[in-house]
Amino acid sequence: MAISAVPEHVWWAVETLDPGPDDQLLEIGCGPGVAVSLICELLVGGRIVAIDRSATAISRATRRNAQHLASGKAVLETVALEELRPSDVLGESERFDKIFAMNVNLFWVRSPAKELELIKRLLGPGGALYLFYGYGRRPLPRKDNENTSRVPGILTGHLTDRGFAVEVTRGQGVVCVAAALQA
């Protein structure tokens, strides 16, 4: 993938996510699969499952990641998170090390209680959920700047209400709310 084809916020998210070579990852709302491509370059024995409710997005991600799909490093599914069944993407004893989403509004525009319960079942011991919001340093409309300021607080509330411990990391025009299950 050409370096110029990767938006700044995607680079930052993948760097913050810091996938290990054997990690099992789930991306919610993968769009055209840019993060999938970056992550697959870092995987040795690991795998990324990427879902999106849009068949068009999955089609684009499939074209972009044909070699990663062929190698088994990537799996793409057209499905909304709320319709995902763990058995569709995981073996019986498998769980994800990291689950992430970039600019997926369902986590902050309403209470995502049902989705967070599903995520708890999908995460393995020591696993974490990473929710990224923002588009980097490019100038944004005023509403997006306001949302980048208020979204972390909303996400933190939703996550702590569902039993997650939360850590917020800020970059230039992007934020990560990382959540792990409390012991």
Cβ atoms of 48 and 26 within 8 Å: the answer is: yes
CB atoms within 10 A of CB 1: 13
What average pLDDT does this structure show over 14-37? 97
pLDDT in tens, 114-130: 999 999 999 999 999 99
The amino acid at residue 166 is V
Distance CA 155, CA 178 (A): 10
Give ∠ CA 26-29-31 in degrees, rounded to 5: 115
Q: Tell me the two tokens of residue 113.
A: 């209680």
Cβ atoms of 55 and 87 within 8 Å: the answer is: no
pLDDT in tens, 76-113: 999 999 999 888 888 777 899 999 999 999 998 898 99
Residue found under tokens 């916020």: 9
